[in-house]
Amino acid sequence: MFNDYSPEACGMTAPPGGTRISLLRVRDLSVEFATRDGVVRAVTEVSFDLSPGQVLALLGESGSGKSVTLRSILGLNPPVRTRVSGEILLKGEDINRLAERARQDLRGGVVSMVFQEPMTALDPVYTIGGQIEETLIEHRGLERAAVHRRARELLDLVQMPSPERCLASYPHEISGGMRQRAMIAIALACEPELLLADEPTTALDVTVQAQILWLLRDLQRRLGLAVIFVTHDLGVAAEIADDAAVMYGGRIVEQAPIRELFRAPAHPYTEGLMHATVRRRQKGKALVPIPGAPPNLAALPPGCAFAPRCPHVKPVCIEALPPLHVVASDHVSRCHLVPERLASPLLVLNKGGSL
Amino acid sequence: MSVALLEARGLRKHFPLRGGVLQRTRAWVRAVDEVAFQVRAGETVGIVGESGCGKSTLARLLLRLVEPDAGHVWFDGEDVLRALPSRMKRLRRDMQLVFQDPHASLNPRLTIEDAVAFSLLVHGVRRAEAREKARMLLGRVGLDPRLYGRRYPHELSGGQRQRVNIARALVLDPKLLLLDEPVSSLDKSVQAQVLNLLQELKAERALTYVFISHDLNVIEYVSDRVLVMYLGRVVESGTADALAESPKHPYTQALYASAPSMDPDRRMERPPIAGDPPNPINPPSGCRFRTRCAFAMPKCAEAAPAPVAVAAGHDVACYLYDEVRT
Ligand SMILES: Nc1ncnc2c1ncn2[C@@H]1O[C@H](COP(=O)(O)OP(=O)(O)OP(=O)(O)O)[C@@H](O)[C@H]1O
Ligand SMILES: Nc1ncnc2c1ncn2[C@@H]1O[C@H](COP(=O)(O)OP(=O)(O)OP(=O)(O)O)[C@@H](O)[C@H]1O
Ligand SMILES: [Mg+2]
Ligand SMILES: [Mg+2]
C-alpha cells in the first residue's frame, strides 16, 4: 500500500484478488511553502493509492495538510514560493509533469472537486443552469440544445428540489443545501472517475449534512466513483468511507479500513481523537482530551510530530521519525510502539470496541 | 421546586429588513418568537438548533444587548427589562456572555492579561489588584501568565483564545455564564480540553450555564436540560436524558437521527428529513416545521401549537400530542 513499506518485506501476503488496479497513486508527496515565519512543511512524504470506486477519508485536524494534499492532486498549489515534490500518478500519468493545458483537461474530465463553501466556488453572477451548461460546453463539447437537457438531468441526479426553478436561480437565491447539490451537479457534469471533496458538509446544518452524505454515497455507488473525502469529523468518515488515512503535522500517521480504524486504532493520535470526541450517551463519563496543541509546521521536530502530546512517548520517539509499521493487512501506523503493542496485545489500549 | 435564577417569558425579537431609497421596512426576520424557559441555580441548560434558528439572538436578548420587542426576563428575582442603566451594569457582572467567535471577540491591541483585567478596571478595581486577579485566572484556565500574559490574541491558538475568553468572563465572579458555541470553532482534541475546563469551573465556582451549540453530542454531554429551537421557536424542552431517549417532536427526532453514529456498521439508512430550514424572513404559518414534517396536518398551518407537557418537565409544541392536552 505504501512504497516505503511493502507487505512482502514483512512476510505478509498480498491482499486477496491480487493487486488492485490503482486509479490514483501518490508517492512521497511533499509540499513546502516559503513564508515570513520560515518554511512551512504543509505535507511531508504522503503516499497512498486509490482504486476505482474506493472512498478514502482524509482525516485530520485543522492545519494537518488535508486540503493541500487534495489540491496537489489537481496541481492547484500557488505557483510561487511553493515547492512540490513526489509523484502523483493519475491513471498512470504524472500530473506534476503535465503541461498546464493537459492538467486543465484532467480537472474537468477524470477528476472534479467539491468545496466546503459552495458560495465561494460558485460564480455569483451566473445562474446555476448557466454554470452547469458552461461546464458542459467547455469540457464535453455538447451543443446548446443537448446542454439544457443534460443540465436538467444532472439536477435530477443530485435530487434537487424544484430543479427547473433552480436552473434559473442565482447562487444567493437558493439554500445552502441546494448550493451544495448544485456544486455536486457541476462536479459530476463531466462524468469524472474521481471526486475530490474538501469538507463538503462542514458548513451545513446537521439535518442537511445527513442528506448530502447520503446523496454522495448513493451517487458514488451508482456511478462507481472513487472519492477522496476530506473531513475533520470522525463521525462523517464513519458514514461515508471505505478506508481512512489520518493526517497529523503534514504526514499520514495511520491508514486502515474504516471499521478497523474504529475497532482498533493503532496510533496514539487516532486513539486520542477517539477518546476526545464527544459521542451520544456519553453523559457523566469523562472526556480524555489530548493535551497541548498541534505542531508548528515551520519548526517540526526531528522525531514523531505527535511525541510532545503523546501519553506513551519514549526517548526514541523524540529522536527518530517512526517508520510505517504494518498492524494488519491494509492497516499501517507510523508509531514506534507498534511492534511492542503487537507483541503484547494487552498493551493495545481499547482494542475491541470499548469506545 | 427551587426558584429560577433566570427566567424568560414570551420573548420576541423581529428584526426589520430595510430596503429601497427610503429605507422602508420591507420584511421582518422572525429571529425569536414566544420563547419561554427557566434556568435554576446550578443547572446547565443547553440550547440546540440549526444555523439561524435564533440561538445567539436569544442570548443577546437575555442580556439586553438587543432589546426584545416583547416578553419578560427575570434574573435573580429582578426584572431585567425594567432595570435602569446603572442596575444593568451590575446585572451584566453577574450574567456574562462568552461570544461565539473567539477570533473576533478579543481586542487585537490588548495583551491577554490586559484583556482579562479590562472589565475589572471598568468596574473600578485598582490596577495592581486587577492584574493580579487576571493572572490568577489565566493560570486557572491553563495559560501560565508568565508565558502567555504578555501575548497578543494573534499569538494564540483557537483553543487558547477560547480559554482567554472564559477567563475574561469569569473575572467579575458572575453567577451565570451564557456560552454561545464555546467549542464549535475548536478541533476535537482541543474541544475536550475546553469542555472539561468548563465542567471543572462550574463545580468550583457554583456557576450556572446556558450553553448554546448546534452540536447535539456536545449539548447532550454538558446539559441537565435542553431546549430545541427551530426557526425562532422552542419546539421541545426536557431533561437531556428524556430528549435523548424519547424525543417527541418530529424535528427533534430528525435532528437526533441526523447526527452521525460514529459507527461504520450503523450508517444512516436514509436521510431523516428532506429540505433545508426555511427562511426566517417569511417563515411558514402555524407550526414552522410543517413544511418538512412527515406528520403535517391541515391544522398545523393554522396556528402555532402551544407547548404541552408529555411528562413532568418535558414539553412539546406539536399537535401530535394534542390528546394529552387537558
Ligand atoms: N499558500 C500557503 N502558504 C503558506 N502556508 C500555507 C499555504 N497553504 C496552506 N498553508 C499551510 O499549510 C498547512 C496545511 O494547510 P491545509 O489547508 O492543508 O490544512 P487542512 O488540514 O486542510 O486544515 P483545515 O481543516 O483547517 O482546512 C497549514 O498550516 C496552512 O497554514
Ligand atoms: N441584527 C440583526 N439584523 C437582522 N437580522 C438579524 C440580526 N441578528 C440576527 N439576525 C437574523 O436572525 C436570525 C437568527 O440569527 P441568530 O444569529 O440568532 O441565529 P443562530 O441560531 O445563533 O445561528 P448560528 O448557529 O448560525 O450562530 C437569522 O436569520 C439572522 O440572519
Ligand atoms: Mg482544509
Ligand atoms: Mg449563533
Where b means 16+ CB within 10 Å and e means fewer, A161-192 reads eebeebbebebeebbbbbbbbbbbbbbbbbeb
**What value does the mean pLDDT of chain B take?**
92
pLDDT-based confidence at A105, cuts 50/70/90? confident
pLDDT of A99: 84
Question: Per-residue pLDDT averaged across A17-25, rounded?
Answer: 71
Cα of A300 to ligand 1 centre, how many Å?
Answer: 15
Measure the CA–CA gap between B302 and B14, rounded to whole angstroms. 20
Q: In this predicted structure, which of A103-107, A120-124, A177-181, B262-266 has the lowest mean pLDDT? A: A103-107
Distance separating alpha carbons of residues B288 and A93, to the nearest angstrom: 53
**Nearest partner of B279 among A181, A178, A125, judged by Cα:** A178
Please give the C-alpha separations between residue A31 and each of A72, A334, A342, in angstroms, as whole numbers: 8, 19, 33
Q: For B78-94, what is the mean pLDDT?
A: 93
d(CA A66, CA A239): 19
How confident is residue A4, by pLDDT bands cut at 50, 70 and 90? very low
Residue predicted with more confidence, A349 or B141: B141
- DSSP string of A184-210? HHHHHTT--SEEEEESTTTTS-HHHHH
Backbone angles phi, psi at A282, to 5 degrees: -105, 0
Q: What is the pLDDT of residue A202?
A: 87
Is residue B189's pLDDT more than 90? no
Contact A59 CB / ligand 1 (< 6 Å): no
Rounded Cα distance between B300 and B286, Å, is: 6
pLDDT at A21 over 80: no
Q: Which pLDDT band holds residue A8 (cuts at 50, 70, 90)? A: very low
Q: Whose CA is nearest to atom 26 of ligand 2?
A: B51
pLDDT tens-place string over residues A302-330: 999 999 999 999 999 999 999 999 999 99
Between the CA of B56 and the centroid of ligand 2 the distance, in Å, is: 7
- How confident is the model over A125-137, as a mean pLDDT? 91
At residue A349 the predicted structure's pLDDT band, cuts being 50, 70 and 90, is very low
Residues sharing a CB contact under 8 Å with residue B11, sequence separation 6 or more, in sequence order: B32, B34, B35, B36, B58, B61, B68, B70, B71, B72, B73
Q: What is the pLDDT of residue A346?
A: 52
The mean pLDDT value for A41-60 works out to: 97
Residues in chain B: 326
**Cβ of residue A108 closer than 8 Å to a chain B Cβ:** no
User: What is the percent of chain B with per-residue pLDDT over 70, rounded to a whole number?
Assistant: 98
Tell me the three cell numbers of residue A292.
497541548
Question: Any idea which of A336-340, A347-351, B197-201 has the lowest mean pLDDT?
Answer: A347-351
* Mean pLDDT, rounded, for B141-147: 90
Averaged pLDDT for residues A58-63: 93
Give residue A97's pLDDT: 86
Which residues make Cβ contacts (< 8 Å) with residue A295, sequence separation at least 6?
A249, A301, A305, A308
Instruction: Give tens-digit pLDDT for A286-307.
Output: 899 999 888 999 999 999 999 9
Q: b vs e for A205-234, b when ≥16 Cβ sit within 10 Å of the residue's Cβ? A: bbbbbbbbbbbbbebbeeeebbbbbbbbbb
Please give the pLDDT value at position A224. 95
- For residue B102, name the pLDDT band (cuts at 50, 70, 90): low
Nearest to A3 by CA among A23, A36, A25: A25
Judge whether B146 and B180 are in contact, CB under 8 Å. no
Alpha carbon of A131: minimum distance to chain B alpha carbons (Å) = 22
Instruction: Report which of residues A51 and B186 the model is more confident about.
Output: A51
Residue A19 pLDDT: 54
Residue type, B315: D
Q: Are B281 and A254 in contact (CB under 8 A)?
A: no
Distance in Å, CA B299 to ligand 3 centroid: 46
Sheet holding B95-98, edge to edge: B95-98, B176-180, B208-213, B44-48, B225-230, B233-239, B314-316, B308-311
Predicted pLDDT at A350: 43
Tell me, what's the pLDDT at A11? Answer: 36
Give residue A285's pLDDT band: very low, low, confident or very high (50, 70, 90): confident
Give the integer Cα–Cα distance in Å for B42 and B213.
19
Which residues 184-223 of chain A have a CB within 8 Å of chain B?
205-211, 213-214, 217
Q: Are strands B4-19 and A55-59 parallel, antiparallel or unpaired?
A: unpaired
B50–A206: do the CB atoms touch at under 8 Å? yes
pLDDT of B251 over the 70 cut? yes
**Helix B158-170 crosses helix B127-140 at what angle (to 10 degrees)?**
130
Dist. CA B170–CA A179, nearest whole Å:
41
For residue B225 the three cell numbers come to 436540560
Q: Which residues contact A53 (CB under 8 A, 6 or more apart)?
A: A220, A224, A225, A226
A13 pLDDT exceeds 70?
no
Label residue A142 by pLDDT band (50, 70, 90): confident
Q: Which of A217, A235, A289 sits opposite B193 (nearest CB)?
A: A289
| Mean pLDDT on A242-268 | 97
Helix, strand or coil, per DSSP, at residue A264: coil
Q: Whose CA is nearest to atom 9 of ligand 2?
A: B57
- Exposure string over B105-139, b if 16+ CB within 10 A, otherwise e: bbeeeebbbbbbbbbbeeeebeeeebbebbbebbe
Q: In B, which residues are within 8 Å of A259 by CB distance?
A: 264-265
Q: Which residues of A touch B257 (CB under 8 A)?
A: 210
- Cell numbers found for residue A57: 477519508
Nearest to A150 by CA among A134, A174, A172: A134
Residue-level pLDDT at A170: 94
pLDDT digit string (tens) for A209-237?
999 999 999 999 999 999 999 999 999 99
CA–CA separation, A64 and B186 (whole Å): 14
CA A291-A297-A303 angle, to 5 degrees, is: 70
Considering A29-33, B140-144, B189-193, B282-286, the range whose residues carry the highest mean pLDDT is A29-33
Determine the pLDDT at residue A20: 60
- Using 50, 70 and 90 to split pLDDT, how confident is the model at A25? very high
A200 compared with A19, residue with greater pLDDT: A200
Query: In a mutational test of the pocket of ligand 2, which residue from B56, B211, B228 has the highest number of ligand atoms less than 8 Å from its CB?
Result: B56
Mean pLDDT of chain A: 88
Q: How distant is the alpha carbon of residue A10 from its chain centre? A: 28
Share of chain A above pLDDT 90, in %: 66
Looking at residue B269, its pLDDT comes to: 87
pLDDT of residue B155: 86
- Asked if residue A7 has pLDDT above 50, the reply is no
Per-residue model confidence as pLDDT tens digits over B23-50: 777 788 999 999 999 999 999 999 999 9
- pLDDT number for residue B128: 95
Within a 10 A sphere around the Cβ of A15, how many other Cβ atoms?
12
Among protein residues, the one whose CA lies closest to atom 22 of ligand 2: B56
Listed range (A255-259, B138-142, B185-189, B245-249) with the worst mean pLDDT: B185-189
In B123-272, where does DSSP find H-type helix?
Answer: 127-140, 145-148, 158-170, 188-204, 216-222, 240-245, 250-258
Provide the pLDDT for residue A351: 40
A81-90, A282-291, B42-51: lowest mean pLDDT where?
Answer: A282-291
| Cα–Cα distance, B157 to B308 (Å, whole number) | 45
- How long, in residues, is chain A? 355
**Per-residue confidence at A353, pLDDT binned at 50, 70, 90?**
very low
Asked if B244 and A280 come within 8 Å (Cβ–Cβ), the reply is yes
| Choice among A101-105, A147-151, B100-104, B264-268 with the minimum mean pLDDT | B100-104
Mean per-residue pLDDT, B198-207 = 95
